Chains A and B, each alone.
Chain A
Amino acid sequence: MIRFLLLLLILLPIRPVTGDESPECLSCHQEKTPILVASWKQGRHGQAKVHCSDCHGPVHNGKMAQRSRSNGVCLPCHEKESKSYRLSKHGVITTLEADRMDLSLPLKEGNLRAPTCAYCHLHDNHHAGTPSTDRQTPCRDCHSPRLVTTWFASGTENVKTGEMKLREAQSIVEKIRASHPESIPQALDLLKEMEENHLKNIMLGVGHQSPDDLWWHGQPALDGALLRIKSLWGPSSPNQ
């Protein structure tokens, strides 16, 4: 009996948590780490009911923070976003140095050789996601303020050119609606591709500094969809 109680005592801190586990974590952490909990509630993960254990695991074993800092926990929900990161230099270094990175260190001060997802997006314990006003902060742990500012400004311009292509396409789709209504389903499909894939790839490419998404899956892909929409308007429309 005593043995059993001792075993229970040992196992108590690593009890598995099941079901809607966040309330159970919150009952303690609202007192222990109130800022962190409040920040999680405000953020997208809190709003979307992504629970503590989804990232930290169900076992309270002292390695919960460490577990959540590795990219593996983000992938099940963010597969599309992860491709551009995986191909970026940050992603490559993280892949190659996975065994050598000390994930027990806090996500700040360049403690990792290259940033994992959480390093930038939940920098310095921001459980609501790194605030938009602080987007450049994680980059500056390693890169000069001048490089970071220039990169963000250039990236913003890059996205703007993509948005121009989308708006130009939208205005042509309106003309098609009036003169070639039979081509509208095809035009709308192309427009959707532009908005949901190609333009998003540019944003991911800028954010993750990933040239493949930024260029081949971004700008020239937008060009292709735009000219195909334009080709739907005219006497020799491919559908006719």
Chain B
Amino acid sequence: MWIAHHCLVALLLLLCPHLVWSGLPDPPLGTGEHADAWKPDPMHEYWDPANHHRPETETMAGIFPGEVCLECHAQITPGIVKDWRNSGHARAQQPVLCPACHGEDHQKLVFPTHQTCGNCHPQRLAEMEEEKKYGFPSHALAMERAVDAKHFADKPKAEVTACLQCHSVGSKCDSCHTRHRFDPAEARRPEACITCHSGPPHPDDDSYFASAHGQKYLEEGASWSWDKPLKKGNYPAPGCAYCHMREGKHQVADKAVWKFGIREINPRTAENVIKRKRWQETCADCHPAPVALSFFNALDAERKAAWNLLYRVEGLLKSLRSQDLLRPAASERPPYPMDRIARLFPRARIGFFEGQASAFYNVSAIERDYFELWYFDNLAAYKGMAHQAPAFQRRFAERMHQSAQQIENQAKRLSATGPHTPSNSMDLKSIWLDGEYTRFNRDHN
């Protein structure tokens, strides 16, 4: 009996050593496909409250009705109280007070999510949920896809908080309906989108503002009545939401044919034909059918040309890889993020299908050049074409040609240098596998 008891204790300690030893690292508390590989940054609780909100630990405790919240917070955070007082929530016959969204218990305060808002706005929530059946890109799946990205899991979490700030549109509603006013009129304006829909891979702001639609908006938009629903005849030119969230439907994915331009698609699949019909109906608010159709054809032709160029360059890079001409070689650089097999069988990732979207760091300069050609210039050219900003599209198409030419020249130089031989081999590992940030990145997920 005595021995059995000791054996049991020993087994317990073996299985659960943290019962007696607190020196073990905290377990990772991530979410998604690589949940066991990363630990969230403290800001994560604000971007994805449903999964990461921490309970209140401040000294304020008690159960408070809304009037008391307002009285106190008018002193502590007066800005949000003033903002709320100007909101539809405050002006409603039955005002929607703080506890309706945050709860009454100050030690168990809730950060509102889509579900919270959906309690009173079920139709909007349902529309948003419906996006999920169309996959990504969509607002509804934005947070899930962000944390599933291999480079997100791999990088130090403070470094990638900005990803979450935009992808939080998949977790909560205030990306577009800023708190605590939650004004639909604000969300209808194109500027409501540009905090996230800007920058090299998705210059939706610059391409839209460069288009005829955007130019008209810039000239007159401030005087339009933004309280009106996004319906035919209400606006002289469309903003982002007018087309992408037609008639105010909280659904941006049901017309997504080219999906950000990140890979080539077949616009003639049954699904895409249905989506194109939806676009045609949208454009028909102002344009006759042939105009919309010729626009789709022009867009598809532009994409075809862009992908011909991208495939040519992608093929060139793959050929360099097969000739062992990429430096550092895959074995001389940190492994592809979150890929255990790659540690044993290292391989350079080239193109969309090999996951190059997560291989924009720790790669050779020529691979990065291709990444920028594909992910920045190509996607910008696509946005220019899709938003009907021809000069904008041409600018980035020219950059694609220049970049392709530079990559081809560089490939010739690499071929002339030849593959690794004992005579020209240098210790690249010390450069690529060591270094202050590289070490930090390796040790901090």
Contact sample, A vs B, 23 pairs, CB 8 Å cutoff: A87-B195, A93-B186, A110-B83, A113-B82, A113-B83, A141-B78, A142-B77, A142-B79, A143-B80, A147-B46, A154-B42, A154-B158, A157-B156, A161-B158, A164-B440, A165-B437, A172-B431, A212-B199, A220-B360, A224-B361, A226-B361, A231-B327, A235-B327
0 or 1 for each of A82-100: is its CB under 8 Å from B? (1 = yes) = 0000011100110110010
0 or 1 for each of B67-97: is its CB under 8 Å from A? (1 = yes) = 0000000001111111100100000000000
The verdict on A133 contacting chain B, using a C-beta distance below 8 Å, is no
Interface residues of A (CB under 8 A from B): 87-89, 92-93, 95-96, 99, 109-113, 140-144, 146-147, 150-151, 153-154, 157-158, 160-162, 164-165, 167-168, 171-172, 175, 205, 209-212, 214-220, 223-224, 226-228, 230-231, 233-236, 238, 240
Contact between chains at B200 and A92 (CB < 8 Å)? no
Task: Report how many A-B pairs have Cβ atoms within 8 Å.
Answer: 167
Which listed residue, A92, A141, A164, A212, touches B79 by the CB 8 Å rule?
Answer: A141
Contacts of B189 in A (CB 8 A): 96
Name the 8 nearest CB pairs between A and B, nearest first: A110-B79, A142-B79, A157-B158, A223-B361, A231-B365, A215-B162, A164-B437, A168-B435
Which listed residue, B80, B327, B366, B410, touches A234 by the CB 8 Å rule?
Answer: B327
Which listed residue, B83, B201, B436, touches A171 by the CB 8 Å rule?
Answer: B436
The interface on chain B, measured as residues whose beta carbon lies within 8 A of the other chain's beta carbons, has a size of: 66
Interface residues of B (CB under 8 A from A): 41-43, 45-46, 58, 76-83, 86, 156, 158-163, 165-166, 178, 181, 186, 189, 191-192, 194-196, 198-201, 205, 222, 325, 327-328, 360-366, 368, 372, 410, 413-414, 417, 424-426, 428, 431-432, 435-438, 440
Contact between chains at A88 and B186 (CB < 8 Å)? no
Q: A96-B189, A216-B199 are in contact. Are A146 and B77 (CB under 8 A)?
A: no
Contact between chains at B363 and A227 (CB < 8 Å)? yes
Q: Which residue of A lies closest to B75 (CB)?
A: A109
Contact between chains at A205 and B162 (CB < 8 Å)? yes
Q: Which residue of A lies closest to B196 (CB)?
A: A211
Contact between chains at B435 and A214 (CB < 8 Å)? no
Contact between chains at B365 and A228 (CB < 8 Å)? yes
Contact between chains at A209 and B165 (CB < 8 Å)? yes
Contacts of B43 in A (CB 8 A): 150-151, 154
CA distance A210 to B162 in the complex (A): 8
Contact between chains at A230 and B431 (CB < 8 Å)? yes
Q: Which residue of B lies closest to A100 (CB)?
A: B86
Task: Output the least CB separation between A45 and chain B (Å).
Answer: 26
Which listed residue, A110, A218, A240, touches B413 by the CB 8 Å rule?
Answer: A240
Q: A211-B162, A211-B166, A238-B410 are in contact. Are A227 and B364 (CB under 8 A)?
A: yes
CA distance A158 to B159 in the complex (A): 5
CA distance A212 to B163 in the complex (A): 9
Task: Output the least CB separation between A134 and chain B (Å).
Answer: 16
Task: Output the least CB separation between A115 and chain B (Å).
Answer: 9
Which listed residue, B161, B181, B365, touches A113 by the CB 8 Å rule?
Answer: B181
